[in-house]
């Protein structure tokens, strides 16, 4: 039986390449390189990404990638190696009735009901209706009696008569996120709460590949932290392409929010 791990390790040692040098050259983390050399594939994100790592590393060492791929498919192609990227985060929790999303929907409904009540009260009082007779206030002095009119308030209504409270508010959480590798493989880790917080997803993107997350997969966060081992990225937040600032992949995190992208030191 062809041994994938020993072949990779022997090729690296024969070329006198350290693990740290291999990480720097391939952008693959040392723990993933060691996992391939030990054939401990469960450490890597998923079967599809194992093949991406293996292709990059084999070509870097000057080995025949197809031979390794055939051996990998023969041993793990039947499904022994578990697929768990992205959706494992969703399967580990159950959506409850009191989740943030349901609470947000309940708040929208409450605002709409209040708006309808306000409009009904204003309509009953005749405010904002040009056909309704305005109240007359009589004033007198020693010689004459005059009448003056008071102007009815027109707050809470737009020029077209539409109640502003009923309009849909701007998003308060990340609705969608798309990250695309541009020009080279990119090893990505996305976290929530803080730059060292719980990991939402981990992936290796080959050039041209994209990672797409929706509101549920982002767990209704208003910001996420991205650890990217390359700056060759294209990022779209809530359907809007964003300018990626200059940053050091080895020392900086990208902070993705509703208003754009900033950086933080690791």
Residues 176-189: what's their mean pLDDT? 90
213 lies in the same domain as 156: no
Domain total of the chain: 3
Q: How far apart are CA 34 and CA 20, in angstroms?
A: 11
Choose the final residue of a domain: 44, 76, 108: 76
190 lies in the same domain as 132: no
Task: Output the average pLDDT for the chain.
Answer: 78
The pLDDT-based confidence of 101 (bands split at 50, 70, 90) is low
Q: Is residue 86 part of a domain?
A: no
Q: Which of 65, 56, 69 is nearest to 25 (CA)?
A: 56
- Read off φ and ψ for residue 97, nearest 5 degrees: -65, -25
Q: Is the pLDDT of residue 64 over 70?
A: yes
Q: Three-state DSSP class for 123?
A: helix
Choose the final residue of a domain: 61, 76, 91: 76
In residues, how long is the chain?
266
Q: Is the pLDDT of residue 81 over 50?
A: no
**Which residue would you say has higher pLDDT here, 192 or 85?**
192
Q: Which of 88, 264, 244, 258 is nearest to 179 (CA)?
A: 244
Neighbours of 146 (CB within 10 A): 9
Q: Is residue 181 part of a domain?
A: yes
Q: Is residue 87 part of a domain?
A: no
Beta bridge mates, 140? 145
How buried is 45 (Cβ within 10 angstroms: 0-12 exposed, 13-18 middle, 19+ buried)?
buried
CA 211 remoteness from chain centre? 10
Q: How far apart are CA 69 and CA 2, in angstroms?
A: 11
At 9, which CATH number?
1.10.260.40
Sign of CA dihedral 235, 237, 242, 247: negative
**The pLDDT of residue 29:** 95
Domain that holds residue 260: 176-265
């Amino acid at each position: 039986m062809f041994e994938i791990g020993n072949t990779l390790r022997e090729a690296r040692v024969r070329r006198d390449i350290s693990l740290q040098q291999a990480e720097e050259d391939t952008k693959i983390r040392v723990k993933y390189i060691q996992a391939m050399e030990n054939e401990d594939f469960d450490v890597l994100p998923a079967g599809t990404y194992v093949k991406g790592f293996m292709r990059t590393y084999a070509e870097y060492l000057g080995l025949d990638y197809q031979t390794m791929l055939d051996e990998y498919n023969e041993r793990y192609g039947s499904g022994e190696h578990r697929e768990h990227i992205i959706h494992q985060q969703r399967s580990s929790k159950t959506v409850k009735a009191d989740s943030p999303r349901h609470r947000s929907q309940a708040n929208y409904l409450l605002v709409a009901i209040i708006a309808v009540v306000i409009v009904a009260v204003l309509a009953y009082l005749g405010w904002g209706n040009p056909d309704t007779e305005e109240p007359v206030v009589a004033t007198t002095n020693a010689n004459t009696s005059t009448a003056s009119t008071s102007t009815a308030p027109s707050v809470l209504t737009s020029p077209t008569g539409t109640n502003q409270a009923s309009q849909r508010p701007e998003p308060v959480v990340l609705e969608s996120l798309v990250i695309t590798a541009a020009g080279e493989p990119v090893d990505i880790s996305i976290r929530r709460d803080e730059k060292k917080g719980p990991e939402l997803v981990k992936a290796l993107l080959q050039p041209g590949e994209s990672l797409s997350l929706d509101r549920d997969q982002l767990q209704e966060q208003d910001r996420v932290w991205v650890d990217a081992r390359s700056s060759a990225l294209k990022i779209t937040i809530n359907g809007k392409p964003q300018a990626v600032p200059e940053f050091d992949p080895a020392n900086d995190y990208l902070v993705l929010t509703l208003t754009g992208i900033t950086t933080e030191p690791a």
